[in-house]
């Protein structure tokens, strides 16, 4: 059996977003979501890329 080393994983406790000044205006931000090469949504529907936050069941339902 091949042994695969565990990958590094993050949860909400490991990530901190610090508010600060930005030159980007809200109207200039692209919040679209590309689901496939030919399908894009103009709304921000994404799930956290954290295995302890988004499990397989949530990913499949999205």
The reported pLDDT for the residue numbered 60 is: 72
**What range does the domain containing 25 cover?**
1-62
What is the number of structural domains in the chain? 1
CB 45 within 8 Å of CB 33:
yes
pLDDT tens track for 3-13: 656 677 777 77
The reported pLDDT for the residue numbered 16 is: 81
CB 41 within 8 Å of CB 1:
no
pLDDT tens track for 17-62: 888 998 989 889 888 888 888 988 888 766 666 666 677 777 677 6
CB 48 within 8 Å of CB 54:
yes
What pTM value is reported for the model?
0.36
The reported pLDDT for the residue numbered 4 is: 58
The reported pLDDT for the residue numbered 23 is: 92
């Amino acid at each position: 059996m091949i042994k695969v080393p565990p990958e590094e994983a993050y949860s909400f406790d490991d990530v901190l977003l610090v508010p600060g000044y930005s030159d980007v205006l809200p109207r200039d931000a692209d919040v679209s979501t590309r689901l496939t090469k030919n399908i894009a949504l103009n709304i921000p529907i994404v799930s956290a890329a954290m295995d302890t936050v988004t499990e397989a069941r949530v990913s499949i339902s999205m």
